[in-house]
Amino acid sequence: MTSQMTHKDQQKLKKFEKIDKPILKFKEKLSYGLGDLGNGLMFDMGMIYLLKFYTDILGISAFYGGLVFLVAKIFDAFVDTGVGTIVDSRRNIGPKGKFRPFILYGTVPLALLTILSFISPDLSYTGKVVWAFATYLLFNMAYSIVNIPYGSLSASMSLNSDDRTQLSVFRNMGSQGALFFAGIIVIPMVDKFSNHAIGYPIVVGALALVGICLHLICYKGVKERYIVEREEIKGTNKKAFLGLLKNEAFTVLAIYTLLTIMALFLKQSAQLYYFEYVMGYPNLVGLVSTLNFAVLFPALYLTTVLSKKFGKKATALIGVGGFIIFELLNYAFFGEHLIPFLIISTISSFFLVIPNTVTWAFIADVVEYGQWKSGIRSEGITYSSYSFTRKVSQALAGFVPGVALTVIGYQPNVQQSAETLHGLKFLFFVIPAGASLVALLIFLFFYPLTDRKHKQIVKELTLREEV
C-alpha cells in the first residue's frame, strides 16, 4: 500500500510540475487581450462620455445623470452574481467550453444596447430620465453576460503564475487600447456632425461593430484547459458563496479594488469637465489618451520585470504609490499649466498601468486560494463577486461626480465660478489620490497571497487531485 501511495504521489507531483510551467503561446495571449479591447470599445463609451452626453445632449441634470450610474451599477452588481452562478452551475459542457459561448452569443446584443444608450429621443424631461435609466440598465446587464465569463476564463486557461501575469498584461493592453481609441476618436468624429445627437450613436455604433469582431477573435483564439464540472448537489452554490465570505484574500482584494477602481473612474468621469473649464482645452482628452497609450508598453514591460523580481503584490504597491505621489504633485503645483500637467499626468498614468495590470492575475490566484480553503472551485462566483465590487466602485465613480458637480455649482456650457473650478480640481486629483492611499495601506498589511504561497497552494491542490 505504501509503495502504491508513493507511486501515486509521484504521479501527482509530475502533474504539478507539468501544470506549473508556462504553456500559453503569444497568439492565445493576444486573442485574450483583444477580447478586453472589444469590451472596452463598448464599455468605455459609457464611463467616459455618457455623463456628459446626459447633461449636454440628452438634457438631464448632472444629479440625475449620476443617479443613473449609481442605480444601474448597483443593479448590475447583483446581475453579475447571477451570471456567475449560472456559469458555475453549467453541466454537460460542450466543445465550445464553459465560458466562451457567453462571449460568442452575447456580443451582438451588447453592441446594440451600447448604441441605444447614446440615442436621445424627443421626450419630456421625465421621459428622458426614464430613458436614461432603462437603456443603461439593459446595457449593463448585457455587458455582465459577456464580461463575467470573459474574466472567469483566464483561471481555466493556465495555472502558472507567469502565464497569468502575461494574460493580465495582454488584457490591460486591450483595456488601455480601448481607452486610447475612445479618447482620440469619439469627440473629433462626433464634432464632424453638425448635430451631435446624431453623431454620438453613429460613432459609438462603428466602434461597437469593431468590438464584435474582436470578441469573435477572442472566442476562436483561446482554449479552456482546467474546467471543473460540478456534481449536481443541492446547496453547492450557497457553500461557494459562504466559502468566499471566509476567503480573506478575496475580501482584501475586493476592498482594494473598490478604492482603486473608483479612483480611476472618478478621473475618467471628471476629466472632460476639468479639461474644458479649468484648463480651457475641451479636446485635451485626445492628447492625454495618446500620451497615456504611449507609456503603456513601457509600463507593461516594467510590470513583467517587477513581477518576476518582487512578486505581484509588491509590484501593485509600487504602482499605486507612484500614482498617488504624482496626482498630488499635479494638484499642488502643475494642474493648471498645460505642459507640466501633461508631463506629470503621463507619469501618473504610467504608474497606474502597473496595478491595473496585475489585478487580473490576483483574482485568478484567489480562485485557487478559495478552492484550497473550501474544497469548491468557483471561477464564476468568485469573478462575479469581484465584479460586484468593481461595479459598486463604478457606481460611486459615476454618482460622486454628479453629486459633486451639483454641490460645487456646475452649470453646463457657461463660465464657471472660482469655487466651482477649485472643486473640479479637488475632484480630479485629491479624491482619487486619497482613495488610492487607503487602498495601498489595506493591501500592504492584510493581503495574504504571495506568488510563492500561491505556487504551494497549487501543489497541494494537485496532491489532493482537485486540479
| Count of all residues that appear for the chain in the document | 467
Counting as low any pLDDT under 70, the low residues of the chain are 1-20, 228-238, 240-241, 394, 397-398, 465-467
Q: Say what the pLDDT of residue 198 is.
A: 93
Q: Say what the pLDDT of residue 101 is.
A: 94
Q: Say what the pLDDT of residue 206 is.
A: 94
Q: Say what the pLDDT of residue 441 is.
A: 97
What is the rounded distance in angstroms from the CA atom of residue 72 to the CA atom of residue 394? 10
Q: Say what the pLDDT of residue 2 is.
A: 45
Q: Say what the pLDDT of residue 164 is.
A: 85
Region label for 301, one of left (φ > 0), alpha (ψ between -120 and 50) or beta (otherwise): alpha
**Domain range summary for the chain, segments of one domain joined by +:** 25-225+235-463
Residue identified by cell 438631464 is: 60
Contacts for 188-196 with beta carbons within 8 Å, 24 or more apart? 188/283, 188/286, 196/57
What is the rounded distance in angstroms from the CA atom of residue 32 to the CA atom of residue 171? 7
CATH 1.20.1250.20 given to domain 25-225+235-463: yes
Tell me the pTM: 0.69
